[in-house]
Structure 1
Amino acid sequence: MNYKANLTVEPGPQTQLIKAGYDPDSQRGFISPPVVHGSTVLFPDARTMETHGQKYTYGTRGTPTTDALCDAINELEGAAGTILVPSGLAAVTVPLLAYLAPGDHALIVDSVYGNVRQFCDIMLARLGIEVDYYAPSLGAEIETLFKPNTRLVHTEVPGSNTFEIQDIPAIVAVAHSRGAIVMMDNTWATPLYFRPLDFGVDISIQASTKYPAGHADILFGTVSANVEHWPWLKEVNGLLGLCAAPDDAYQVLRGLRTLGIRLERHQKSALEIATWLEGRDDVERVLHPALPTFPGHDIWKRDFKGATGVFSFVLRVEREDQFKTKAQAFLDALSIFGLGYSWGGFASLALHVNLDERKVTPVPSEGPVLRLQVGLEDVDDLKADLERAFSAARVA
């Protein structure tokens, strides 16, 4: 039974997270759906098999487990449909393959996730698709980069590692006036803090590896589409033969139930640490969209409902030849923050950001850029860990 049937007002976000994709009546009363492992599905007779006259026909086309997750994501995103893929990178590359063809031109934000850039530069180039990178600061001015064959604009907000905020409504207005599709990687904010489809974006992407799953133990991605673009996305995903593992789908669905309260903690702790860092003499600047001093803060405040736990800061150093040495000394002194890629799990992480691939966007040059994922540990302990790292960097 649809839980909304008896509600007189739209449920709040945490209620949605608990109830979306939730149907105990169809699973013998169990509060969580069973994990369905299966490829072959049996039909009651030859006619049903010939006409595909039943809901489930083969494992790659959906199971009760994957349907429950898709229903939940559709509700959270406000989407016509969602596909599940094995990684966050695949969640970007599949729609790029779906909506671009040889001879097309795509505009990709210069602050894009590095592996997406490699896919564009290597795989899209091999397919005869032209790619240009644009500065994330561009809003309506992006129109000057459009060509007669521009078919797609890819956005990522905030920008990977440097957290630039894009003016999504302005970009959408230009792109749609020129007949182009707009995609957005919304992994950082999740649909709780920003719903891309509500702002006119056509394709909303999440690396569910991160906050939705929340425990740093699976790889997963979701791609959600509006009514116009859902049928082709679904078709292409089927043609590519991509599907998500049932155990992973179950874990993402389980992670969704606590996403709201986890994000509240990530947000609060990260903002406290970002503010603390901003007041330090050994920090050149902090790259966090929720800080009033951050360029793009006004757009973030206008469009977003919150911030999450990932941001960067620029370590102050005296000379450029100290960048690597100081960064390594800082990272090596950390004990609570782990050194690792990805983010969105319960544990805090840190890494030295490499921005060498940027083509048109100015990057911080005052010192090394260090990215922090602020996890669920006690903030005082995290500050003490960072304090030890600053001390180590000073004497390096």
Structure 2
Amino acid sequence: MPLKQQPKKGFSVEQIQTAIEAIVLPNSNRTIASEKALTKLTQQDGNIHVTLRFAYPVAHLQDAFIQAIAQATDTPASNIHLTLENKIVTHKVQQGVNTIKGVKNIIAIASGKGGVGKSTTTTNLAIALSKMGARVGVLDADIYGPSQPTMLGVSHLQPEQKDGKFIPVTNAAGIQTMSIGFLVNTDQAVVWRGPMVSQALQQLLFQSQWDDVDYLFIDLPPGTGDVQLTLSQKIPVTASVIVTTPQDIALLDARKAVDMFAKVNIPILGIIENMATHICSQCGHAEAIFGSDGGKMLSENLNVPLLAQLPLSLPIRQAMDQGQGVDLQQTETAIANLYQQATWQIILKISDMGKDFSNAFPKIVIE
């Protein structure tokens, strides 16, 4: 990197580079130097122009980086001109399963038990990740009870078809969504046996034209049955996240979900403890009505990270029912920060995983 500009305020450009590279990324032990993120640095007329490139989305850190660079270089923040870039790659999946065109990384959101807020968590993680600057998709794999169209505010839409494939519906946050809820009457029960459900899941995933999705969340139904088995055998999953409540009954089933992913060699990024506390909308009092730290203790026992402890909150429920998750994260900053921190840890862990090189080698055909 050419660094032949004039020094500023006693700092040489080399010193400015050293100061910038020493900056620590929020909520991590990573630095700009360790991420090899500094790709361009110039100085002109008292202004510092910096370009940082990461292997994950960092748009939410724009202001934090500017302030950190200003402090590290003794330069007014108004004189820092920062460009953030990302180069997200496809990471390894299960052996023998091919990746999907248009989708780089698939994250399964699972729970052993229903009613723990898994779909709510999926929606909010997707919104948080989209705000970070990633191209995000959501596949609603709950064939019997699809809820993502409602939660993402697109239940009134229907996917178009092109070249025999569905074009996923896109919401206000740019999140691409596919669900059986777009294709069937949601007032009627889906009475299908397991093989039909598994086939429907594969069709929703493989027969959709995903448009350059960096991270696709799959909102799984509860349990460890046919859909989960199809996921592990047919679908290229990068990693998984387990959602539970602190309640002992939920924790019993969460352990089964963890065990299932371990048996099929799908990495577990961590556990999200949902409904950790109830926040009173009148007085703000917090009460652990489902128990305390159950998810935290489970993560310690299983030696997997605890990604977040999320509240049972009236604004979250209202936003999900009304398809206003984007508005929720704009107005409820405390809640938005919790989802953002969980999402940040998820993408950092994925970035550390091995890359997928399957498409880099030619296919060998023996005739």
Taking structure 2 as the reference length, what is the TM-score of the superposition? Answer: 0.27
TM-score by length of 1: 0.26
More strand by share: 2
Bigger fraction of residues in helix: 1
